[in-house]
Amino acid sequence: MRQPIRVELESGKTYFWCECGRSQSQPFCDGSHKGTPYQPLKFTAENNETRFLCACKDTENAPFCDGNHAR
């Protein structure tokens, strides 16, 4: 079971969330998806805030954790 990863997001900053699970920089993309059908999810933080990003890749609210890892 992969637990969510706590991150500090900066308002207005763009992030790329890893969808493939191969990144060594979880929860963010490091390009390890190359050669797979996966692409990172681009998102921009709306506020300066602490959020939990999904690490199990089973969330229905990507890139944010929705608790599916515990089900």
Q: Is 70 helix (H, G, I), strand (E, B) or coil?
A: helix
Please say whether the dihedral angle defined by the alpha carbons of residues 15, 43, 25 and 34, taken in this order, is positive or negative. negative
Both structure tokens of 19 = 């969808």
Between β-strands 5-9 and 14-17, what pairing exists: parallel, antiparallel or unpaired? unpaired
Domain that holds residue 52: 1-71
Q: What is the pLDDT of residues 7-20, one digit of tens each?
A: 999 999 999 999 99
Number of domains in the chain: 1
Among 24, 23, 71, 26, smallest CA distance to 52 is for 26
Q: What does pTM read for this prediction? A: 0.92
Cis peptide leading into residue 37 (ω within 30°):
no
Q: What is the pLDDT of residues 8-56, one digit of tens each?
A: 999 999 999 999 999 999 999 999 999 999 999 999 999 999 999 999 9
